[in-house]
Amino acid sequence: MASFTPSTTTTTTTHNFSTITRNPLLTKSSQLSTFRSTQSRRIPSNISCNATNNDESNKFDRRNLLIGLGGLYGAATTLTSGNATLAAPTAPDATQCVPSKIDDGSPLQCCPPKPSQFVDFKLPKVNPKQLRLRPAAHLVDDKYLAKYSKALALMKALPDSDPRSFKQQADVHCAYCNGGYHQVGLPNLEFQVHGSWLFFPFHRAYLYFYERILGKLIDDPTFSIPYWNWDHPDGMYMPSMFNDKNSPFFDAIRDQNHLPPTLMNLSYDGPDTVSNLTNEQQIEQNLTIMYKQMVSNAKKPTLFLGASYRAGDPVNPGPGTLEIQPHGTVHNWTGNPPPNTPFWEDMGNFYSAARDPIFYAHHGNVDRTWSIWKDISRKHKDFKDKDFLNSYFYFYDENAKPVKIFVKDVLDTKKLGYDYQPMDLPWLKSRPTPKRNRRPKKLVKKVFSTVKNAVAAEADTNNPVVPTLVFPRKLDHIIRTNLARPRKSRTQEEKDDEEEVLVIDVESRSDVYSKFDVYVNDEDESPTLENRTQTEYAGSFVNVPHRHSGKDGHLKMTTIKFGLSELIDDLDANDDEGLDIIFVPRTGTDSVTIKDVRIEFQD
């Protein structure tokens, strides 16, 4: 959805707790914080449409490049504050697919057959009373299993050269997610469908054509793929249909410790972390994670759907809540970790994930959550931004014809002809509670007064004072910092209008499964896994391994965001001037750097 936010430059300053006077000509969300406890401040320089998460130096380079290409994208130019900035939808250059690379740099051919011409996708004629109903995988009967088994066996029997074959369908994910494409007209910029607002629409379109191909092969236009119902206690296990060695659903390259009847962990920390949680505690934690990702952390479209990603932007501007976890954690919980496999194949690496038939059931549930999120609140709506709606992808349909499909084509599952078997949503009642009474307000204010002029010094574990640290910082140990709030004591109307958001810029290795947790006002010296069911747990960063053509071939930059308004209310911290932020490394964080942390407001 279009909004006006200040473009920014960053300067280093001393600590300053003053704030800029609100400008009545701008929306509330366009007033960025002038204070950062990281000792950096964003100074408004001009106003540009949807500038959030974009690097301004990149914008002018991008604008000049696109103008030099003769307006290839047909994008509109917006004039603001005397400067012109250009925005445009992004898309892969399907004529220039190149071999992807495995994490060791070896080439991997994932490109589909080169088409002569693509045709624009047209929505099917749908009878709303006869929608294809995607079933929960743990509830399917023998008749359905026989039908799906036949369809998948026929898909696997197709020659590899056929774009409808299982190999080619698996390679779609490899090409789009592991460096196979660059952006149209921008050969030096990789195209990536993860880590942005393209995540949900791409995977919906991907599964749509996969499903249509299967139905065509068995001459059954009503056929639908199942979804892995991991957000319900009954579905928090690997569905048994995928563990039958004699079926086409089987993949031997899975974590053997997570086969049925092992209960899954939606906040999986990797094989080296030992959990002492009982099954009841694990289910409680899973439901709390779902509540966090679908409700308290997802009150605005940019928080749930992900950051904007336009032509000329670098990859991974910022994933949405659900993409981080459980999407990312389920991938690696299912995949087989090193040293059992070289790079966490199959499900645990983007290049190989779709080789496992369970991938499509996993993403069926991911797709389902997009629809559920929009039903939770009337305020939950898709972006109306034309750059979002007019971004597009290429696939082969059930007739092996190349198709160009736009994001705007896939916003409604019913218009695509399918829906999901209804299931209870117990996580809606799993709002976390604070684990203990908070410190007296007088002590909090005294502590904040003590540290507000502190310099970069590590916290003394014997001292309740949490210093305000300077970033960047390597996440090779627990980091605690006090972060000033730009505005406090907000009314409920202000909270409904703007979400207070914790924003964290992260540098990490893209080829490593890395994860860290973030806590707010948690007084434990080392928050444990049990703490994730408590209000103090804000969320996690998760990276699913993949090849990234960034710095040193692996380092990537991204931004994660956590909603704070509900958390602050539950911690009775609405009147506090600052929050204690705790970063807890869980796995693969040796090369993770917290580049910056701040509080912003999102409308």
Name the binding residues for Cu cation: 173, 194, 203, 327, 331, 363
Residue 90: DSSP 8-state: -
Task: Name the catalytic one among 138, 203, 258, 554.
Answer: 203
Separation CA 217–CA 64 (nearest Å):
48
Separation CA 59–CA 195 (nearest Å):
19
Q: How many other CB atoms are there within 10 angstroms of residue 60's CB atom?
A: 14
Separation CA 265–CA 237 (nearest Å):
9
* Residue 231 and residue 322 in contact, taking contact as beta carbons nearer than 8 Å: no
Task: Name the catalytic one among 121, 350, 359, 516.
Answer: 350
Closest among 545, 534, 543 to 582, alpha carbons compared = 534
* Residue 468 and residue 17 in contact, taking contact as beta carbons nearer than 8 Å: no
Separation CA 309–CA 194 (nearest Å):
10
Number of H helices, E strands in the chain: 14, 21
Question: 């045709």: which residue's tokens?
Answer: 119
- Residue 362 falls in the annotated catalytic set: no
Kindly give, in sequence order, each residue whose CB lies less than 8 Å from that of residue 231, ignoring residues fewer than 6 positions away.
286, 287, 290, 326, 365, 369, 425, 427
Closest among 121, 99, 120 to 109, alpha carbons compared = 99
- Residue 554 falls in the annotated catalytic set: no
β-sheet bridge partners, residue 74: none
Task: Name the catalytic one among 15, 182, 363, 546.
Answer: 363
CA–CA distance from 272 to each of 50, 92, 275, 337 (Å)? 41, 38, 10, 10
Task: Name the catalytic one among 331, 362, 546, 548.
Answer: 331
- Residue 331 falls in the annotated catalytic set: yes
Task: Name the catalytic one among 15, 194, 380, 548.
Answer: 194
User: Within 13 A of 550's CA, how many CA atoms are on the CB side?
Assistant: 20
Task: Output the 3-class SS for 190-237.
Answer: ECCCCCCCCHHHHHHHHHHHHHHHHHHHCCCCCCCCCECCCCCHHHCC
- Residue 327 falls in the annotated catalytic set: yes
Separation CA 352–CA 346 (nearest Å):
5
Separation CA 557–CA 543 (nearest Å):
11
Kindly give, in sequence order, each residue whose CB lies less than 8 Å from that of residue 45, ignoring residues fewer than 6 positions away.
6, 7, 8, 9, 56, 81
Kindly give, in sequence order, each residue whose CB lies less than 8 Å from that of residue 194, ignoring residues fewer than 6 positions away.
177, 316, 319, 323, 350, 544, 546
- Residue 380 falls in the annotated catalytic set: no
Annotated binding-site residues read 173, 194, 203, 327, 331, 363
- Residue 258 falls in the annotated catalytic set: no
Task: Name the catalytic one among 182, 232, 258, 327.
Answer: 327
CA–CA distance from 508 to each of 50, 190, 497, 550, 590 (Å)? 26, 17, 33, 11, 9
Residues belonging to the active site: 173, 194, 203, 327, 331, 350, 363
